[in-house]
Chain A
């Protein structure tokens, strides 16, 4: 199906540790995007990585993209309790205008 699948489904770590979430997809991408959703809130755009890029940084976030493996990873360094949220990877799969979301990775950062 045309959507990213995040792995693991749930991740629990201690504050200060790094968190790594993975995304696998089946079709080609245009611009892979990562979003965060705090419980009961709207989605916040974190980072966009284009198909010709391999790595991108934004503050404590690092995203990598491997188009040969059709996968991406999101690394959050020095995690904080406020990073507790669900994280989604998505794209305008197939050239459409709609974002297609999987179930996300639910990250819990314990203080």
Chain B
């Protein structure tokens, strides 16, 4: 059973471009979470999704950020018009019950 998969692992964007981060949950997991981690900080919750539904987006910035988890395919975290402050590691996790299992992360660098 493969773990949580994220791609790309590294992503470089120039200011103003769009960043699309993908997350494939563990097989059988229907809950997906996105977290962001700045250097030397712990992870900060962004959004919690189930298939085709956003359950909790209380940690998402109000503008430029969106997330989806379609019926088919991976979950996508989309950042429009990226700025330097968006540079961070973005982690996806999936769960079936009590435990969230994390992917390896996508490191976004905005030039």
Contacts and interface: CB of A to CB of B under 8 A. Distances in A.
Q: Which interface residue of B31, B55, B99, B107 has the most chain A CB atoms within 10 A?
A: B99
A43 B59 contact: no
B38 to A, nearest CB: 11
Contact of B55 (A31, A40, A97, A101): A97
A43 B100 CA distance: 10
Interface of B: 4, 31, 33, 35, 40-45, 48, 55-56, 58-59, 89, 91, 93, 98-105, 107
Given A97-B31, A98-B58, 16 more contacts: A35-B102, A40-B89, A41-B105, A42-B102, A42-B103, A43-B93, A44-B102, A48-B99, A96-B56, A98-B33, A99-B33, A99-B45, A99-B100, A101-B43, A102-B42, A103-B41
Interface residues of A, number: 21
Contacts of B55: 97
B45 A88 contact: no
Given A88-B42, A104-B42, A98 B101 contact: no
Contacts of A41: 104-105
Interface string A68-87: 00000000000000000000
Interface in A90-108: 96-104
Contacts of A48: 98-99
A30 B99 CA distance: 12
Contacts, number: 55
The A contact surface, by secondary structure, is loop
Interface of A: 30-31, 33, 35, 40-45, 48, 88, 96-104
A3 to B, nearest CB: 8
Nearest to A99: B100
Contact of B59 (A31, A40, A98): A98
Q: Which interface residue of B4, B42, B101 has the most chain A CB atoms within 10 A?
A: B42
30 contacts: A30-B98, A33-B99, A35-B102, A40-B107, A41-B105, A42-B4, A42-B91, A42-B103, A42-B105, A43-B91, A43-B93, A44-B102, A45-B99, A45-B100, A88-B42, A96-B56, A97-B48, A97-B56, A98-B33, A98-B48, A98-B59, A99-B43, A99-B45, A99-B100, A100-B45, A102-B42, A103-B40, A103-B41, A103-B42, A104-B42
